[in-house]
């Protein structure tokens, strides 16, 4: 089976078409490059349909149609049952806060919410805030032996009063992938809903909200080759049950409108429609059967992406494993089943900032810190070393770029 058509992939990102000795972008878990086709659609929207939706004149109807296309294509990307299960908003942080606020009226003393401690603070703080109204928040901790969240550690936290289990599908620090369907099945068996942060997963693997049966799922489009904009998925009946976050007269069944106060950004929502189109085209060039559906093409694209990313991760992990002065944080293996190519490490006797600053002049964009997963980094005892050094790949990175990082690290660590 043919692998990823890397030349095609790179050609679709304007930022990657410049000087071959230019910047290597390895901060993709922070934010990916954007597709040229997304930029084109944003420009198209703004030049030909930049009016308010909801009126009866033709341009307004075109604008509304474009917004609907954004929803429908994102629904296809994540396998939602219907387009109105896709809620757009400015960021995952805001979407999570919105859901926590919208759920708050039906939670009170005695109710329990389980929250993982390995998440970005965006998916911890809003849930911890429910304590103010008497909700009991229980923490699901990192398992030190396996360096991931273990379902067996979740079990004893669940009780007849557990209303919600909140967790990340993939840590933004070290890329370990959690078994979302298994965790969801366990939570459902105990009568709890699940809220999943897919921000660090969605750029790398096929999202399948229906297959996994998750209740809510959130991710950021600026990490999935799109603009600064975010998606909240909710099962229709779950969204129906959330409290209105818009004007008092907005009816409970106006979905997703009641969760998009003031309207979402139209041009960015339309721009997002180009992302699945790109993945369909990539799939067609990377092994999808021509007779396959658009969703099958997207799946083929992600299969090819997973293989390519495993190769990239292995090139760097092989180097990291070979260095006695380096401790890999998270899985030391490159298997695409276990991890995405977000790699973190610390260097004995060096602050993480000093390693990254030594790399900066070599035109390789990596970074250090806690990446707002502060509780995890503190639990790992790494706050004092300025967190971790993180290099995070996307599918458009090349093997040569991975080698450039290894060479740069070798030089930086020699001084």
* Interface ranges with ligand PLP (CB under 6 A): 91-93, 120, 122-123, 168, 172, 197, 199-200, 220, 230
Rounded to 5 degrees, what angle do the CA atoms 339, 344, 350 make? 165
Strand arrangement of the beta sheet that strand 86-89 belongs to:
86-89, 230-234, 216-220, 193-197, 162-168, 112-116, 136-140
**Measured from the CB atom, is 201 or 345 closer to ligand PLP?**
201
Q: What tokens appear for 392 in the block? A: 């995070």
Q: How far is the CB of 395 from ligand PLP (least distance, A)?
A: 18
Polymer length in residues for the chain: 415
Q: Do 132 and 100 touch, CB atoms closer than 8 A?
A: no
Q: How far is CA 298 from the centre of its chain?
A: 17
Name the 3-class secondary structure at 343: strand
State the CB neighbour count (10 A cutoff) for residue 306: 19
Residue number, 123 or 286, with CB nearest to ligand PLP: 123
CB of 321 to ligand PLP, least distance (A): 25
* H-type alpha helices, 242-360: 266-271, 274-284, 294-322, 352-359
Q: How far is the CB of 394 from ligand PLP (least distance, A)?
A: 14
Specify the residue, 184 or 342, whose C-beta has the smaller distance to ligand PLP: 342
Q: How far is the CB of 228 from ligand PLP (least distance, A)?
A: 8
Alpha-helical runs (H) found in 220-273: 236-241, 266-271
Smallest distance, ligand PLP to C-beta of residue 252, A: 26
Q: How far is the CB of 168 from ligand PLP (least distance, A)?
A: 6
Residue 49 vs 220, nearer CB to ligand PLP: 220
Residue 49 or residue 169: which is nearer to ligand PLP going by CB?
Answer: 169
């Amino acid at each position: 089976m043919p692998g990823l058509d890397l030349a095609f992939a790179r050609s679709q990102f304007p930022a990657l078409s410049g000087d071959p000795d230019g910047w290597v972008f390895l901060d993709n878990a922070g934010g990916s490059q954007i597709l040229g086709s997304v930029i084109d659609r944003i420009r198209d929207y703004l030049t030909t349909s930049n009016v308010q939706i909801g009126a009866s004149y033709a341009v307004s109807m075109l604008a509304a149609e474009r917004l609907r296309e954004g929803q429908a294509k994102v629904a296809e990307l994540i396998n939602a049952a219907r387009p109105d299960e896709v809620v757009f908003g400015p960021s995952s942080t805001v979407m999570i806060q919105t859901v926590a606020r919208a759920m708050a009226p039906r939670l009170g003393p005695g109710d329990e919410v389980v929250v993982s401690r390995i998440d970005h603070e965006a998916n911890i703080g809003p849930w911890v805030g429910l304590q103010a109204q008497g909700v009991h928040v229980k923490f699901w901790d990192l398992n030190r032996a396996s360096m991931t969240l273990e379902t067996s550690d979740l079990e004893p936290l669940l009780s007849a009063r557990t209303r919600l289990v909140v967790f990340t599908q993939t840590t933004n620090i070290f890329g370990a992938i959690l078994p979302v369907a298994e965790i969801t099945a366990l939570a459902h068996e105990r009568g709890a809903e699940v809220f999943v942060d897919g921000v660090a997963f969605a750029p790398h693997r096929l999202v399948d909200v229906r297959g996994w049966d998750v209740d809510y799922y959130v991710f950021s489009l600026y990490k999935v080759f799109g603009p600064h904009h975010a998606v909240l998925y909710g099962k229709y009946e779950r969204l129906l049950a959330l409290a209105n976050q818009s004007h008092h007269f907005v009816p409970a069944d106006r979905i997703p409108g009641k969760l998009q106060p003031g309207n979402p950004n139209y041009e960015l929502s339309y721009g997002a429609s180009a992302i699945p189109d790109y993945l369909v085209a990539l799939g067609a060039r990377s092994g999808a059967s021509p007779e396959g559906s658009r969703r099958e093409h997207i799946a083929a694209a992600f299969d090819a992406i997973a293989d390519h990313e495993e190769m990239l991760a292995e090139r760097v992990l092989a180097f990291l494993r070979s260095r006695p002065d380096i401790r890999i944080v998270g899985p030391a293996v490159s298997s695409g089943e276990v991890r995405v190519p977000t790699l973190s490490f610390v260097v004995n006797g060096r602050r993480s900032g000093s390693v990254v600053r030594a790399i900066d002049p070599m035109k390789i964009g990596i970074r250090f810190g806690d990446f707002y997963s502060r509780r995890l980094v503190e639990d790992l005892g790494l706050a004092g070393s300025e967190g971790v050094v993180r290099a995070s790949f996307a599918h458009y990175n090349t093997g040569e770029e991975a080698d450039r990082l290894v060479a740069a690290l070798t030089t930086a660590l020699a001084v």
